[in-house]
Amino acid sequence: MNLSLCGALDRCGVGLLVVDEAHSWLSWPGWRPSMTAAAARFPTAQRLALTATLQRADEPRLLQVLAMPGSRVVRHPFFRDNLALHVEQRPPVLSWTSESSPLRPVEAETTFRRRRAFALCAAAARRDGNSIIYVHLRKDVDDLVVALLLLLSENPAAAEGATFLPYHAGRDDRHEVETAFLERRRVIVVSTIAFGLGIDSPFVRLVVHMVRVWASCWMGILVSSHAAHCPIRVSLSSSNTDPDASL
């Protein structure tokens, strides 16, 4: 526990103690025991705990952990009026030749993914919005940018004025890409997780996760002035022995 910070808060006083992702506090004792004492550090402060995934059965235990017995619990539905979820029906993405052979990607799967990502980015660009496409490896970044630029050259009217930029920890132009994304419109950044999802830009209209982990989902979130459209489909698996390759 940061004793200097605690001392400063003691001197200044805490009027409201807000706990975000409050459900995670139930697991703190297992790997950071000092956090179990944090809730009791400011006993007189009002408390607000926020979570979107807590099960009803765990509510009493969480209130006890956060020293909030008898607090009012307010629940809201998961769905919002400005959020629309869509599941796309499409051909299988995997195939196999025999029972003993491993699953293999359908030959046209890579082409489908690239064209779908381009179409989503083009739609966001036509609304003067910026986009982020997350991929797993640095090589995936470079390969996808080349493919998207080729699609743009084949149909420039679809995403007129759009700029596709690569970003990962191995590149020296990261600051220039960050500045372009923050200050310009119709910028599409293809990146590993090195590019922060929480980047503070009001122009973001699309986030595409082209993850390659087994049983994960690929999701494109297209935010318009009225709704967010989320086409969801199963993605592909991949193994990676170089941890730096995913940054």
pLDDT (tens digit per residue) in 103-144 = 666 667 788 889 999 999 999 999 999 999 999 889 999 999
Q: What is the pLDDT of residue 34?
A: 73
Task: Return the SS3 of 110.
Answer: helix
- CATH 3.40.50 domain span(s) along the chain: 83-246
User: Minimal CA–CA distance to 131: which of 223, 5, 44, 36?
Assistant: 223
> Radius of gyration of the chain from Cα atoms?
23
124 close to 131: Cβ distance less than 8 angstroms: yes
**pTM exceeds 0.85:** no
**Average pLDDT of span 186-201:** 83
83-246 CATH pick, 3.40.50, 2.30.110, 3.30.420, 3.30.70: 3.40.50
Asked if the model's pLDDT at residue 240 lies above 70, the reply is no
Rounded Cα distance, 236 and 218, in Å = 9
What's the residue count for the chain? Answer: 247
